Amino acid sequence: MPSHRLAPLLEPASIAVVGASPRAGSAGQTLLALNREAGYAGKLYAVNPNHAEIDGGPCYATPAELPVAPDLAILAVADARLETALVQTIERGARAAVIFGGVNLGGDRDPPLAARLAAIAREADLPVCGGNGMGFYNLDRGIRASFIRPPYDTRPGGLTLISHSGSSWSALSTNDQRLGFNLTISGGQEFTVTAADYLDYALGLPSTRTVGLILETIRDPQRFVAALEKAAGCATPLVALKAGRTPQSARMALSHSGAIAGDDAAYEALFERYGVTRVATLDDMAATMALLSHPAGIGEGALVSTHDSGFERELLIDLATDAGTALAGIGAPTRARLGELLDPGLEPVNPLDAWGTGRDYEVVFTETFCALLADPAAAVGFVCHSPRDGHPLSQAWARAAAAAAQRVHKPVAMVANHSWTRHPAITQELREAGVLMIEGTACGLRAAASAFAYRDFTKRPTLIPPAGPPAATRARWRRRLAQPAPFDEAEALALLGDYGVSVPATQRADSRKAAVAAAHTVGLPVALKTAAGGIHHKSDQAGVYLGLGDAGAVAAAYDSIAARLGPQVLVAAMAPAGVEMSLGVVRDAQFGSLITIGAGGTLIELLQDRRMAMPPFDAAYALRLIKRLTAWPLLGGWRGRAGVDVDAFADAAARLSVLAGELGGHIAEMDVNPLIVSPAGAVAVDALLITSSKPEVCSDDGE
């Protein structure tokens, strides 16, 4: 891709190793040797003032003496020499650089070395991999821009790995013989090139089938989102391992929505929106990447598995439930074929226990697994066994897996029930046969669940959010949100109403007489709430009275509130009885407005039952999230109770997402809690809105 900004960095036609060395085991010597061994076809130059030649080839004292300006300069020098080396390579006309050093100097001046190097590179518009990284491998091009020597041959494949962690990069890309990569990158501190840039490049490679992302933070959110959109558009699976999932919020949120969002909320919403598979461990990452990148693809259906143990089959069923992994219901023809092959007493079902008397066990293993995998309901097949090199039973299972992979064009994996068994030879044999090796039953099941989820993501219809209000209404609310005066509940409900969210009839009152009159106007029974400024959670202050059915009850409730909290109240029509849910808007500093969808009521923060979403979206998108709430059974009817209008709940969430998409730059936090979902619909009966102290600048027409 000669037009891509990163081509000189990741596919250079010439490389200069600054700090090349003849000393065995040194970074400078390893870099030269690795590229020669890999068959790098470009020009490879050595630079070191202490040597006239290295390994029989010329060595140049400084970059200035190089016969040509190199595409890539790899700076394999001590931190103290990095600044000079970078300046010299730029002056020679190098088009990209790799910086390994930790870029820390004791007693350094201000700005420190890392900031100086980044500034120099930015000024020169120089793509830099690093600093404080381990470089990269481009296996498609035979390039090893890293000082790490793999312990065995690394063969090309369809996986790309982009990692902020050098150690994790090394573990997967140089030490895992199960995986085949086309490109692996340890980006380090990302002086001028970020994960978004690398991802954009990788998505343009014909060999890329799946991309793994090991992330600490995102330094350029807009470009990262654009890269995720590109991946979704070309149906390239992304698997992300993101550190920092534990909510350790640095601020005190004023709304319930802010309190339950947590620091990781933006990534949850972002990954959900663009179909990024999130994993929790390196093992899960390896297994999921391998399964998603299988050349056969993940077709319709679910998982079939075969075992040589009844107990381990039962355990897989339990673990599949935990992982949310769908097990295939095989058809009658498959069951009949299994019945012909199995020993008496063995059930022809999926998952299958194929071990009986041991008679012709390899034939039984092979034919039963092939029958399972060929069933129309099967998308992926697992041979679940704890393989040991040289063991006859393990070798039989490996041959059965290989035969099935050859006969049936579907992904096949051997899954080690006990991941501590030693089986490098079997792993290599399986790889040659196109069979994956996954360590650990639970790990394999989570990978299968993720693969099925991504397959389903690719089949989702295009999002069509509901229409917002007229432009004049939107402009009016934008002007109001930009004013410093705080919003009260009546205004917040009016805003929701203008965006199509159902709200109760309400009136303000500042006396007992006015409260009683308002109650008759909106219609008894009513709710009466304090409207005193500065009270964000009225229930905590005993500032809410519900179900007031006559004038006397209204008057008594008003007197109680007025005596304690002041004369300003809000009178609202009662919503039908239903399930208390919640919606909210929170604002992330990097990715903007986010929507919370969750359980509601006074226990919202305790229950922490919520899903996050990036606006805007439609009701179908919201419904998928609602179905994943712990409270979902309550909405469908629980213990004889009538089910509620879940579609109305989803529609309210979609309409709030449009509000956030159009006005979210002015909203710091918004709470819609409770949202009463009943058989008659979904009504927002309480709303809290906190405007942003630093709103985004928007025109009144939203353009």
Q: What band does 641 get if pLDDT is binned at 50, 70 and 90?
A: confident
Tell me what pLDDT residue 539 has. 79
Give yes or no for a contact between 438 and 445, defined as CB atoms under 8 angstroms apart: no
Please give the backbone phi and psi of residue 519, each rounded to the nearest 5 degrees, phi first.
Answer: -60, -40
Name every residue whose Cβ is closer than 8 Å to that of residue 82 and which is 6 or more positions away in sequence: 75, 99, 101, 103, 113, 117, 131
Q: Reply yes or no on whether the pLDDT at 29 is more than 70.
A: yes
Q: What band does 155 get if pLDDT is binned at 50, 70 and 90?
A: confident
**CA-wise closest residue to 510 among 562, 581, 564, 464:** 562
Give the CA angle between residues 348, 353, 355 to the nearest 5°. Answer: 110
Tell me what pLDDT residue 523 has. 94
Give yes or no for a contact between 190 and 224, defined as CB atoms under 8 angstroms apart: no
Identify the residue with better confidence: 182 or 217.
Answer: 182
Query: Which whole number is the average pLDDT over 13-18?
Result: 98
Identify the residue with better confidence: 11 or 701.
Answer: 11
Q: Reply yes or no on whether the pLDDT at 541 is more than 70.
A: yes
Q: What band does 156 get if pLDDT is binned at 50, 70 and 90?
A: confident
Q: 7-288 and 296-458: same fold?
A: yes
In sequence order, which ranges of 342-470 are alpha helices (DSSP H)? 361-374, 392-407, 424-432, 441-458
Query: Which whole number is the average pLDDT over 401-419?
Result: 96
Tell me what pLDDT residue 259 has. 46
pLDDT by residue (tens digit) across 449-496? 999 999 999 999 999 999 999 999 999 999 999 999 999 999 999 999
CA 371/CA 339 separation, integer angstroms? 11
Query: Which whole number is the average pLDDT over 370-396?
Result: 96
Q: Which architecture does CATH list for 484-573?
A: 2-Layer Sandwich (3.30)
pLDDT by residue (tens digit) across 248-304? 443 434 444 444 445 688 899 999 999 999 999 999 999 999 999 999 999 999 999
Tell me what pLDDT residue 696 has. 61
Tell me what pLDDT residue 534 has. 75
Tell me what pLDDT residue 605 has. 66
pLDDT by residue (tens digit) across 347-362? 999 999 999 999 999 9
pLDDT by residue (tens digit) across 392-406? 999 999 999 999 999
Tell me what pLDDT residue 262 has. 52
Least confident segment among 117-121, 232-236, 456-460, 607-611: 607-611
Tell me what pLDDT residue 503 has. 97
Tell me what pLDDT residue 702 has. 39
Tell me what pLDDT residue 261 has. 46
Q: Reply yes or no on whether the pLDDT at 57 is more than 50.
A: yes
CA 304/CA 334 separation, integer angstroms? 12
Q: What band does 244 get if pLDDT is binned at 50, 70 and 90?
A: confident
Pairing of strands 210-215, 238-242: parallel
Structural domain boundaries of the chain? 7-288, 296-458, 484-573, 579-691
Name every residue whose Cβ is closer than 8 Å to that of residue 543 and which is 6 or more positions away in sequence: 529, 530, 532, 535, 561, 564, 565
Q: What band does 421 get if pLDDT is binned at 50, 70 and 90?
A: confident
Tell me what pLDDT residue 697 has. 47
Q: Which residues pair with 18 in a beta bridge?
A: 47, 75
Return mean pLDDT, the chain.
Answer: 92
Tell me what pLDDT residue 265 has. 84
Q: Reply yes or no on whether the pLDDT at 662 is more than 50.
A: yes
CA 24/CA 27 separation, integer angstroms? 9
Tell me what pLDDT residue 640 has. 65
Q: For the domain 296-458, what is the CATH code? A: 3.40.50.261
Q: What band does 150 get if pLDDT is binned at 50, 70 and 90?
A: confident
Q: Reply yes or no on whether the pLDDT at 414 is more than 90.
A: yes
What separation in angstroms does the CA of 207 have from each of 95, 160, 305, 326? 25, 9, 30, 30
Q: Reply yes or no on whether the pLDDT at 199 is more than 70.
A: yes
Q: What band does 606 get if pLDDT is binned at 50, 70 and 90?
A: low
Question: Which residue matches tokens 């698997």?
Answer: 239
Q: For the domain 579-691, what is the CATH code? A: 3.30.470.20
Least confident segment among 14-18, 27-31, 171-175, 456-460: 171-175
Tell me what pLDDT residue 154 has. 75
Q: What band does 217 get if pLDDT is binned at 50, 70 and 90?
A: confident
Run of H or E including 687: strand 687-691
pLDDT by residue (tens digit) across 436-449? 999 999 999 999 99
**CA-wise closest residue to 223 among 248, 253, 190:** 190
Tell me what pLDDT residue 246 has. 62
Tell me what pLDDT residue 603 has. 65
Give yes or no for a contact between 305 and 384, defined as CB atoms under 8 angstroms apart: yes
CATH number of this structure's domain 7-288, picked from the four choices 1.10.10.60, 3.40.50.261, 3.20.19.10, 3.40.50.460: 3.40.50.261
Q: Reply yes or no on whether the pLDDT at 333 is more than 90.
A: yes
Tell me what pLDDT residue 252 has. 35
CA 213/CA 226 separation, integer angstroms? 15
Tell me what pLDDT residue 701 has. 41
**CA-wise closest residue to 68 among 87, 50, 43, 51:** 43
Tell me what pLDDT residue 130 has. 93
